[in-house]
A and B are shown apart, each in its own frame.
Chain A
Amino acid sequence: MSTSAENENPDTATPEARGLSQGQLVRKRFFGHTAAVISMFVFAGIVILAFTSVGYAGIPGWYQWNYIETPPIQGRGEPTWELPFDFGQHPFGQDSVGRDMFAMTMRGAQLSLIVMFIIGALGGILGVIIGGVSGYFRGWVEAVLMRLTDTVIIIPLIILAAVLGTISQTMTGRGTIANAIFGGSDGVVLLGLFVGVIIWTGLARLVRGEFLSLREREFVDAARIAGASDRRIIFKHILPNAVGVIIVNTTLVMASAILLETALSFLGMGVQAPDVSLGSLISDNQQAFTTRPWLFWWPGLFIIAICLSINFIGDGLRDAFDPRQKKFRAKKAKDTRASSSAEAKA
């Protein structure tokens, strides 16, 4: 810092410092992350495809079959899709009773996405509230909440989820209250809620750590001296500075949630027949792996695509939010250096 910096008019500040708000900087950095941007489009494509093709909640889709109809099997039921654009009757093939594989995969993707969002939202909200409250108020509140977190952490997630998944099966189905509330996808909604209730622990610990460090910062002291209330300090000073950690880790929780749902359905404790999820499709068709591999490929492909794209989006968000992340600036410096050396040559 020099004398000239002290007298400098903000208007003549460096381009990096001028004008860009925190949000604009984050957006700029995120859109500079190629993998994240591609993943965002892939993910959006999957969501649109899954929900428009077979329809959702009684709204019909544009695809000719649904996931329950059993049209006559054509040939061995192999995919009729001939590259590039000749889709035929059953582009992804048919299973042993003739159900259309594309329709089933789309339905499975729908349920997996619903579960993922419910788990992400619920886990995120619980994690932020529990972590934030214990990090900000400390004392006995923190002791109780963090011991609760430890207790949930020591129970193996897959066992807890399996038990809750089985409970959710008995609580749902035709004629139950849950069915009336959530419509056709009651089982999967309950499953999501149950898993969301146990998956918040990692996020709670991270948010607590973030709150612990932010509450000791001088700007929080300054706000306290100015007479700001706890509510104002939390929502105006601490939460906006912790939002990066929260968004990034919620995204990563969602990625692991979709795998957890798949694992549960594979073990037979998730979504129940005749409904399908990506995990249950793989589970049902594992014997067909050598004879009719397409029954196995498509759901697997979609699991991988969803998981990878969510992970890359989370990655891009982390890079965009992390202020210690120097990649953006380093790349820029390299660009300027390259251009200046090019000028020197010329």
Chain B
Amino acid sequence: MNPLLAIEDLRVSFGSGLGRRHAKEVLHGISMSIEAGETLGLVGESGSGKTTIGRAVLGLTAASGGRIVFDGQQISHLNMAQRRKLAKNLQAVFQDPYTSLNPALTISDVLSEPLIAQGSGSSEARTVIADLLDKVGLPSDSARRLPREFSGGQRQRIAIARALALDPKLIVCDEPVSSLDLSTQGKVLDLLIEIQERTGVAYLFISHDLAVVRHISHRVAVLRGGHIVETGSARQVTSEPEHAYTKQLLLASPVADPIAQKERRERRSRLTALDSPSDRLVKDA
């Protein structure tokens, strides 16, 4: 069976507009795939290109090379009408719930946006909206309110509801919980898992937090400097990592016990010392 999303040798460059001579490549040939109903966790440090992969899949950033195949269709160079058709199956939840909802629109306008763009009528949209709010655990009178009236966790629920509106096959979650506090993170993650169990949607889950990724993912890909350094099942990558960088990443997350933390720090600095000098240059740059 073909995977739901297959990324083959994806390259993305950013650079000066003139002649592309000084373009800087940030993704150096990424290949990965997501099966239907599966969650792929994508972890890596800041600047490793996690978000860029998500944006390339969503068509917000142009790919400079490689292929992205979604549901049997090549999607890396689509025009606007084709994108609109694709929107039915491919949606996103963004990092910051404070900027991902338009402050001037009511929740009902926010949620009806994808429905109207796909050509539903307003009465049809209204029943869908009530259903969506129920799905993400918000009171039905939220529809008339403005984003300003909700807390961060509630806003992220609204953003999830918007992503679910068209019943997509894949949702790209770009650090959906990293701007929330710990207990709210847990609730939103549980909501995402529950939705997956109910609807069979697949997630491309981007995060820098290994604990979060371990909680939600089936498989994990570790990204560093535009390369994938390790892929494997969530349990294998987060408990018995093979690559030295993944081990560092695991040891980088602090623990509450100061003695254990000291030991972890020492193990991590030993690992860093093992790194080749050129590797460190890349990291420092």
- A and B are interacting partners: yes
Q: Which residue of A lies closest to B86 (CB)?
A: A227
| Contact between B162 and A17, CB atoms less than 8 A apart | no
A2 CA / B94 CA spacing, docked (Å): 21
Report B-chain residues with C-beta under 8 Å of the C-beta of A219: 99-102
| Contact between B151 and A8, CB atoms less than 8 A apart | yes
Q: Which residue of B lies closest to A4 (CB)?
A: B151
What is the interface size of chain B, counting residues whose CB is below 8 A from a CB of the partner? Answer: 48
| Contact between B99 and A228, CB atoms less than 8 A apart | no
The reply on B180 being an interface residue by CB < 8 A is yes
Within 8 A of A (CB), among B152-170: 152-154, 159, 162, 165-166
For the complex formed, measure the closest distance between the CB of A122 and the CB atoms of chain B, giving whole angstroms.
26
For the complex formed, measure the closest distance between the CB of A5 and the CB atoms of chain B, giving whole angstroms.
4
**Chain B contacts to A: CB under 8 angstroms:** 58-60, 80, 83-85, 87-88, 90-92, 94-96, 99-105, 109, 113-114, 117-118, 139, 141-142, 145-146, 148-154, 159, 162, 165-166, 180-181, 183-184, 187
| Contact between B146 and A21, CB atoms less than 8 A apart | yes
| Contact between A6 and B102, CB atoms less than 8 A apart | no
| Contact between A22 and B103, CB atoms less than 8 A apart | yes
The A interface, classified by DSSP as helix, strand, loop or mixed, is helix
B-contact bits for A78-91, CB 8 A (1 contact / 0 none): 00000000000000
| Contact between B180 and A228, CB atoms less than 8 A apart | no
| Contact between B118 and A10, CB atoms less than 8 A apart | no
Q: Which residue of A lies closest to B166 (CB)?
A: A226
Q: Which residue of A lies closest to B96 (CB)?
A: A218
| Contact between B58 and A218, CB atoms less than 8 A apart | no
The reply on A18 being an interface residue by CB < 8 A is yes
The reply on A291 being an interface residue by CB < 8 A is no
Q: Which residue of B lies closest to A240 (CB)?
A: B104
A6 CA / B96 CA spacing, docked (Å): 16
| Contact between B103 and A241, CB atoms less than 8 A apart | yes
| Contact between A227 and B87, CB atoms less than 8 A apart | yes
B-contact bits for A212-229, CB 8 A (1 contact / 0 none): 000001110111111111
**Option from A8, A222, A237 in Cβ contact (under 8 Å) with B159:** A222
Known: A226-B87, A227-B83. A6 touches B117 (CB 8 A): no
